[in-house]
Amino acid sequence: MEKYYISTAIAYTSGKPHIGNVYEIILADAIARFKRFKGYDVYFQTGTDEHGEKIELKAKEANLTPQQFVDNIADEIRTIWDKMNTSYDRFVRTTDKNHEQQVQKIFKKLYDNGDIYLSKYKGLYCTPCESFFTENQLVDGKCPDCGREVKEAEEEAYFFKLSKYQDRLVEYIQNNPDFIQPESRKNEMINNFLKPGLQDLCVSRTSFTWGIPVDFDSKHVVYVWIDALTNYITNIGYDVDNSSEEFYKYWPADLHLVGKDIVRFHTIYWPIILMALDIPLPKKVFGHPWLLFGDDKMSKSKGNIIYADDLADEFGVDAVRYYTLHEMPFANDGAITYELLIERINSDLANVLGNLVNRTISMANKYFDGNVSNKFIVDEFDDELKSLVNELETEVTIKMDKLEVSSAIDKIFDVLRRSNKYIDETLPWVLAKEEDKKDRLETVIYNLLEAIRVAAVLLESFLPETSSKILAQLGISNKSAIYEENSKYLVNEPVPLFLRIDKEKKLEELKELI
């Protein structure tokens, strides 16, 4: 069985993740589920990034030890991932003992090989962002990321020789045109970072202690990126001296899924760390766009943060999954607002999907007591529907192979829309009035049930709960994604999948809640 290793970024345990962070795990989940459906041996890894000065400060504010603080948030993150029905295989934490040990060994190996050296770091430092900046990176003299004061700082630090590997990396990117996706991100990396030349990277700190100690120089802790990025290998058994079978089985990763803001770390720092360790590079890094609140970045200070678990409580998990997967474009940022979410639920989930399933199952019950099989009384409208159903898996696969998840979902909804149109064309309630059209009527209902079944099978990757609800209502377990000629249906009572929401009323209710 061919393997497929997919990872998400590991989320910072500095606070509760918002819907933007959760979008990433949902997206990864859809890809992982689809690969499983296609027969791959999938390994899907996610987790939390738990060290750093910011977390140390937050823990202090909360009157907790850093460990207690990250334990709480990591739990919360995992609970949200689970609530969103994501099927990860392993949830890793950078405070896992094995990870910490391996990071120390990796750091030492890079030092022994001469890729890491001791020097001094000078610059303007923003504490909340844990970043040094140069004078001209500042905006109005303040931190370009958060707008807060920066302070002059100098510290002894270890540096990693990125520059030594620059040419090899450029060559790799050129020889592997799919390595960085989408294309626009690749150009950004080449033009903004590689062409001007790489500066060596600061990889240790002495100004805080909440990190993995450098074991041969204990005033230093390993600074974020070597600690964070290596999660992708330490947790599948990489060991400097003796890696596990699992490591050789799953590495290199097939896909690192990350947000656009950290593409640089994954396509420049990470490949160079791997080159220095003499390990193969990941096959693909996909920098997904960001989910914005309307046109705005979500932030605590703007008070416009939306949390996935709140949305799931209000609208259901699959509505949230549908919205994020379908509304996020491939390369440009997407938007979420309560209005947009309600409109989508009403138009796509309640009208197109919910109605089709409900109408079809009701007719199967009303006209045939739920018992439906193919009577082969074919008419002009049938062929088009059948061939659309039969092409669906291929169409969805083509889109998913390009990671165009929103378009993959569109393909399924095209078939659902076509099925609704088929009802308008074939007019089952008219056929029902004529006794000699009974077999034609049964064939029509049969075709609809098959279209719904195949759509439900393919929806599993995106809306797992809805998919199984539909199959349960259809009373069938066959999960082939082709039109079968000889299925036997004994359908159950229809249960509405998604109710239409009264937008104005719901918005009023939400106002009170928020």
Note whether 403 binds ligand MSP by CB under 6 A.
no
CA distance readout (Å), 487 to 93, 479, 492, 494: 47, 11, 15, 19
How is residue 262 annotated by DSSP? G
Using the contact rule CB under 6 A, the part of the chain among 5-13, 357-365, 369-377, 465-473 near ligand MSP is 5-13
| C-alpha span between 381 and 444 (Å, rounded) | 10
Q: Which is nearer to ligand MSP, 162 or 491 (CB)?
A: 162
Which residues 282-301 are close enough to bind ligand MSP by CB under 6 A?
Answer: 290-291, 298
CA dihedral 247, 251, 254, 255 (to 10 degrees): 70
Closest separation in Å from C-beta 209 to ligand MSP: 19
Note whether 12 binds ligand MSP by CB under 6 A.
yes
Out of 4, 5, 6, 20, the only residue in the binding site for ligand MSP (CB under 6 A) is: 20
Closest separation in Å from C-beta 247 to ligand MSP: 18
How is residue 213 annotated by DSSP? B
| C-alpha span between 239 and 512 (Å, rounded) | 53
Q: Facing residues of 336 across strands?
A: 293
HEC string of 432-458? CCCHHHHHHHHHHHHHHHHHHHHHHHH
| C-alpha span between 478 and 91 (Å, rounded) | 32
Backbone angles phi, psi at 160, to 5 degrees: -110, 130
Note whether 234 binds ligand MSP by CB under 6 A.
no
Note whether 269 binds ligand MSP by CB under 6 A.
no
Out of 6, 10, 214, 349, the only residue in the binding site for ligand MSP (CB under 6 A) is: 10
Out of 5, 6, 24, 420, the only residue in the binding site for ligand MSP (CB under 6 A) is: 24
Backbone angles phi, psi at 392, to 5 degrees: -60, -45
Closest separation in Å from C-beta 275 to ligand MSP: 17
Q: Which is nearer to ligand MSP, 10 or 320 (CB)?
A: 10
CB 413 within 8 A of CB 352: yes
Out of 154, 178, 183, 261, the only residue in the binding site for ligand MSP (CB under 6 A) is: 261
Q: Which is nearer to ligand MSP, 31 or 474 (CB)?
A: 31
Q: Residue 3 in 3-state DSSP?
A: strand
| C-alpha span between 446 and 386 (Å, rounded) | 11
Can you state the percent helix, strand and coil of the chain, rounding each to 5?
50, 15, 35
If one counts every other C-beta atom within 10 angstroms of the C-beta of residue 502, the result is 12
Using the contact rule CB under 6 A, the part of the chain among 4-12, 372-380, 381-389, 499-507 near ligand MSP is 4-12
Closest separation in Å from C-beta 17 to ligand MSP: 6
Out of 29, 49, 50, 53, the only residue in the binding site for ligand MSP (CB under 6 A) is: 49
Which residues 203-232 are close enough to bind ligand MSP by CB under 6 A?
Answer: 228-229
CA distance readout (Å), 135 to 38, 150, 411: 51, 10, 50
Q: Which is nearer to ligand MSP, 260 or 503 (CB)?
A: 260
Sign of CA dihedral 196, 200, 201, 205: negative
Which single residue brings its beta carbon nearest to ligand MSP?
A: 259
Q: Which is nearer to ligand MSP, 298 or 415 (CB)?
A: 298
Among candidate residues 381, 390, 369, 398, the one with its CA nearest the CA of residue 475: 369
| C-alpha span between 216 and 254 (Å, rounded) | 34
Closest separation in Å from C-beta 496 to ligand MSP: 31
Which residues 240-259 are close enough to bind ligand MSP by CB under 6 A?
Answer: 258-259
Number of residues that bind ligand MSP (CB under 6 A): 18
Using the contact rule CB under 6 A, the part of the chain among 15-23, 32-40, 63-71, 355-363 near ligand MSP is 15-23
Note whether 193 binds ligand MSP by CB under 6 A.
no
Q: Which is nearer to ligand MSP, 66 or 428 (CB)?
A: 66
| C-alpha span between 314 and 280 (Å, rounded) | 45
Closest separation in Å from C-beta 255 to ligand MSP: 13
What is the binding site for ligand MSP (CB under 6 A)?
9-12, 20-21, 23-24, 49, 228-229, 258-259, 261-262, 290-291, 298
